[in-house]
Structure 1
Amino acid sequence: MKEFFMPGRLIVSVGIFVVLVFTAGYAVVYADQESVNPVKSPVALEKQLDELTQQLDRLDDDAVWERRRLVKQIDDLRIELLTIGVVNYKKLVYQSVDGLMIPAYLFKPLKPAPNAVPAVIYVHGGQHGRFRPRSMKHVIAMVQRGYVVLAPDYRSSSGYSQEFYEAADYGGKEIDDMLAARDFLITLPEVDAERIAILGLSHGGYNSLMALIRAPGKFSAAVDFFGPTDLLWRLTATPDENPNAEPGDREKFAQMVGKSIDEAPELYRARSPRYLADQIHEPLLILHGDGDGVVLLQESQWLAEALEDAGKQNFAFHIIEGAKHGYPAPVWEKGWQLAFQFLQQVFDKESV
């Protein structure tokens, strides 16, 4: 399908000082540092990977934080191995709105372009998830299309300190981390500040939607892969109705939001894209599998209906037949190709 933007819903089945911060047992480069990570040979990386794996095997099961740090270090080595000779890569941290330093992965084409290029913020799924090697296939595909890609491990991501993990703020300060990611990207001379999109999966899709809502005009577009859209429903539905519900969810959200859903439902509504569709102005692509048992298809359907009711015409909603929550991978390739086409269309239009 060549045209994405059609009236109403489109539903298709288918410096001077080198500054380092030690976040997880290894050095992370600050965003304002010009040097790149030292290039290691694949043999050296494989040796280090083997050593860390052995350390992980020796850990007691109750060593939760150390285990998470080691898993993150192992992931990072695997990511680095995947980039050798394929894309330019470094891990860095950038500063969010409240001063919290956010670890992130920066990927660029091997051969610099003569002009500034588009950029994509890739937002991982799971509020306590992390950027993982399994995401590299599609990150590399975007970089090889000429884009710069920044993948933040936003606050509450796993693999860092307990304090960072517990800084979770669903739809709140974590969205500040998305906006700060954009602010960092526009400082890079190779990035076209007028062509920055945001793309996320599951909770990352939610963050992408909320970033569009919070910062109109700042992003070229967003791609939402099966993101939640209605906190009011998610926190009041029964476990049979909402398979993603967990015991204690209401209490956790009350801590993040500041009040319980019974005391102040309007605060939860203000963090629910379904009720904020009129505030989405940039092009949006929504992708959801018809067999998703984690975030139900109806959440994307509700958002599409709200966008249509708000008179929005620059969005597309595709239902991927046979797809579940991010798997099977071959089935989801249809969705990824739609995402790549959508981004290319948006960026080409804005380059004119």
Structure 2
Amino acid sequence: MIQINKIWTIALMIVLCHSTFAQQKKKVTLEDVFKSNTFSAKGVYGINWMKDGQYYSSLTRTATGPVVVKINVATGKQEETLIDGGKLGVDFSSYSFNADESKALLASDIERIYRRSSKAINHVVDLKSGDAQLLVNGEKIMYATLSPDNDKVAYVQDNNLFIVNISDQKITQVTEDGKWNHIINGAADWVYEEEFSMAKAFEWSPDGRKIAFIRFDESEVPEFNMQTWGKLYPEDYKFKYPKAGEKNAEVSIHIYDLASNKTVKVDSGEETDIYLPRIYWTASSNTLAYIRLNRLQNQLDFLAANATSGESKLILQEKSDTYVDLDFNDNYHFLKDGKGFIRTSEQDGYKHIYHHDMSGKLIKQITSGDWEVSNLVGVDEKGKKIFFTSTEASPLERNLYVINLDGKNKKILTPASGTHSINMSKDFKYYITTHTEANRPARITLNNTAGKEHQVLEDNQELVDRLKNFAISKKEYFTFETVDGTSLNAYMIKPADFDESKKYPVLMYVYGGPGSQNVTNSWGGLRDFWHHHLAAEGYIIVCVDNRGTGARGREFKHATYANLGAIETEDQIAGAKHLGTLPFVDKERIGIWGWSYGGYMSSLALMTGNDVFKSAIAVAPVTTWRYYDSIYTERYLQTPQLNPSGYDDNSPITHVNKLKGNLLLIHGTGDDNVHFQNAVDLVDALIKADKQFESFYYPNRNHGISGGNTSWHLYSMMTDFIKRKL
């Protein structure tokens, strides 16, 4: 009897301790995530390195307005205020210096257009006198850019390219044929902006005497009509959007000479159904380099044009039986001595750095191995070194390395595990790294390239301490093999009070698109904390990077070519089946959710994996690739004319008859990217198939479905659906 009492006493103490722990640690609530911003991390914004590398500037906001301060790298102390918005009477939100840092360009009242485009009111500030000049009478203009010779600003307005003299405000109109939904000069059309990661489409020559720009003739591109709501009579918003297989804008490159007031057209070849996604001035102001892609994007030509005559010559060419990767990080660097250039390519199976002479001849493949260069951070020509980030330590991580131009003496500069985002000084002596880990918010530090940390700019210690008050489980990483034996990376978030003797429902989170990556050792932000809220409610969260995702080489990424959705969904189903074998998983309650490509994946997985998945949420999904844009879709599927089965075989619309589980379909009616049309056609197909489902639309919301109370409403609704249906 005494022994039994001891056992009960010990058991009671354990229960009481656990109860005390539970009282001390708070559950993550929806209010914490979306109302009170409890888990928002701080950053350091508006940092620009000064030309000598010994100082950097930073944009901060004071009680009187925005200020740009100059900070000494060696001491970490602020030495002077360069721009005081309060004194100038300019409430600016971004700034940039010219080359010699005698002037600055301030943008205020910024009006966003699409993902990367915007227009704003601009001022030029003379940093010596402190005087500020309002440009173009305060009219909103796009992509205002100071000239290298400091006395002019180029900009785009009403689809035309202009130049304004700072001294007398005299305006020169470079082009005159710009017209909405017809001709654009110096700015990208919708599809280039979205899929080639560009908005500004002009560049000053190094001497400031010429401007190269891209002209888009979109007069024959079909219009998309997006209705907007909120007035007595809904209004139509029509814009040019080339869907897969449809007519693209005809693009051409032009070079304007300021002295002669003449424009020359660059000879980019006879074929007009092409892409011209990048222009680069070389060290010479008479040589413009540019990239030309064919419509199927399986041939990339790198050319150089004579800026006076427009005559072009081919420098190098890459071909592929799938597609040639266009590096959206703009990893092309022309050496100042005019003798060559540095670029990245995945031609050997992994993305690496290459050194060519100006004729295109390969001098040296600088990096190699079964890992990928993520970003070419900088080229120190004087020191003959290259700084880059890569996945060498792990596909889940990004670290900074330095290597000699001859490919020798590679050294890691950020050995700490996690993800490092780098801002390098112009003299390559210092860098600022934003370092995050899955379970640690951003720690932003100033370092020298010898490996010494100089200053902590932001450590988010307040958030780190706050997190200790919440019952949050760390992400656990694991791998499993899919049906063909390929090892896939994944992570899991368990409830904080996880009990391996219990069986838990699982919600899988998916994106899965070509070259993407969700499974990384990096801070996940608010969506991760929604997942932590669900974990607090008793769900296990799992994310799997299927075949076709990035950071694991060309073969892994290109495996989905011409048949999007097939093996990606197969891998997600395999992941769910693997989870179903775990003793603590209730295999009858596995769900999946995703946004955009992830919404496409989740809806398709629920239908084709109807014996595995119980429920799915699809937010802003592509439901047929026939409705998506030409550049993205054709890169991975060719055109619908050439590959109709690639478009139809794995469309969720094709598989509606297989639906058995619970589907929640969500879309914004103002989605300029993945049109609401996708949801409408899937709904129509589900009705015809006599399938019950749940659906919700957000009026006038774009692809991000945000603004005001929207995120709170959206995630509250999704949480309710999960609790009811999983």
Instruction: Give the structure 2 partner of residue 79 of structure 1.
Output: 438
Structure with the greater alpha carbon radius of gyration? 2
Instruction: Give the structure 2 partner of residue 199 of structure 1.
Output: 593
Distance 1:59 1:300 in 2: 47
Contact 2:592-2:602 within 8 A present in 1 as well: yes
Distance 1:206 1:51 in 2: 28
| Shift in alpha-carbon separation, 1:100–1:58, aligned structure 2, 3 A | farther
**More deviation in 214-223 or 122-131?**
122-131
Question: What is the TM-score normalised by the length of structure 2?
Answer: 0.36
1:91 is displaced (CA, Å) by: 1.4
Matched, 1:164 2:523: no
| Shift in alpha-carbon separation, 1:327–1:269, aligned structure 2, 3 A | same
Contact 1:150-1:181 within 8 A present in 2 as well: no
1:99 paired residue among 457, 465, 485: 485
Contact 1:285-1:317 within 8 A present in 2 as well: yes
The gaps in structure 2 that reach 5 residues or longer are 1-228, 230-369, 373-390, 397-413, 427-432, 442-466
Number of residue pairs matched by the alignment = 281
1:306 counterpart SS class:
helix
Matched, 1:139 2:531: yes
Contact 2:514-2:558 within 8 A present in 1 as well: no
Distance 1:246 1:58 in 2: 35
Contact 1:122-1:200 within 8 A present in 2 as well: yes
Instruction: Give the structure 2 partner of residue 333 of structure 1.
Output: 712
1:188 is displaced (CA, Å) by: 1.9
Distance 1:250 1:293 in 2: 19
Specify the code of the residue in structure 1 equivalent to 2:530: H
Distance 1:271 1:139 in 2: 28
Distance 1:59 1:175 in 2: 43
- Post-superposition Cα deviations, 1:146-181, rounded to whole Å, max 9, x if no partner, equal 111111122222333333333335111111111111
2:648 paired residue among 269, 294, 314: 269
Instruction: Give the structure 2 partner of residue 110 of structure 1.
Output: 496
Q: How does 1:279-298 map to 2 (within 5 A)?
A: 279-298=658-677
Contact 2:637-2:646 within 8 A present in 1 as well: no
Specify the code of the residue in structure 1 equivalent to 2:516: G
1:105 is displaced (CA, Å) by: 1.3
Q: How does 1:125-136 map to 2 (within 5 A)?
A: 126-131=513-518, 133-134=524-525, 135-136=527-528
1:50 is displaced (CA, Å) by: 9.1
1:195 is displaced (CA, Å) by: 0.5
Matched, 1:120 2:478: no
Contact 1:186-1:193 within 8 A present in 2 as well: yes
| Shift in alpha-carbon separation, 1:251–1:324, aligned structure 2, 3 A | closer
Contact 1:28-1:92 within 8 A present in 2 as well: no
Instruction: Give the structure 1 partner of residue 702 of structure 2.
Output: 324
1:92 counterpart SS class:
strand
Specify the code of the residue in structure 2 equivalent to 1:318: F
Contact 1:90-1:105 within 8 A present in 2 as well: yes
Distance 1:167 1:252 in 2: 10
Matched, 1:52 2:52: no
Q: How does 1:217-228 map to 2 (within 5 A)?
A: 217-228=611-622
1:226 is displaced (CA, Å) by: 0.8
2:683 counterpart SS class:
helix
Distance 2:715 2:536 in 1: 14
Q: Select the structure that is richer in helix.
A: 1
Matched, 1:250 2:628: no
- Post-superposition Cα deviations, 1:9-40, rounded to whole Å, max 9, x if no partner, equal xxxx9xxxxxxx999444689xxxxxxxxxxx
CA-based RMSD = 3.3
Q: How does 1:209-248 map to 2 (within 5 A)?
A: 209-234=603-628, 245-247=629-631
More relative contact order, 1 or 2 (CA 8 Å, 6+ apart): 1
Distance 1:27 1:266 in 2: 36
The gaps in structure 1 that reach 5 residues or longer are 1-12, 14-20, 30-45, 61-70, 235-244, 255-259, 348-352
**More deviation in 276-285 or 319-328?**
319-328
Distance 1:28 1:186 in 2: 26
Contact 1:28-1:93 within 8 A present in 2 as well: no
Distance 1:325 1:332 in 2: 12
Matched, 1:306 2:685: yes
Distance 1:167 1:265 in 2: 19
1:87 is displaced (CA, Å) by: 1.4
Contact 2:671-2:701 within 8 A present in 1 as well: yes
Instruction: Give the structure 2 partner of residue 67 of structure 1.
Output: none
Question: What is the TM-score normalised by the length of structure 1?
Answer: 0.70
- Post-superposition Cα deviations, 1:169-216, rounded to whole Å, max 9, x if no partner, equal 511111111111102211222111110001111111111111122222
Contact 1:125-1:202 within 8 A present in 2 as well: no
Specify the code of the residue in structure 1 equivalent to 2:648: R
2:670 counterpart SS class:
coil
Distance 2:496 2:575 in 1: 22
Instruction: Give the structure 2 partner of residue 36 of structure 1.
Output: none
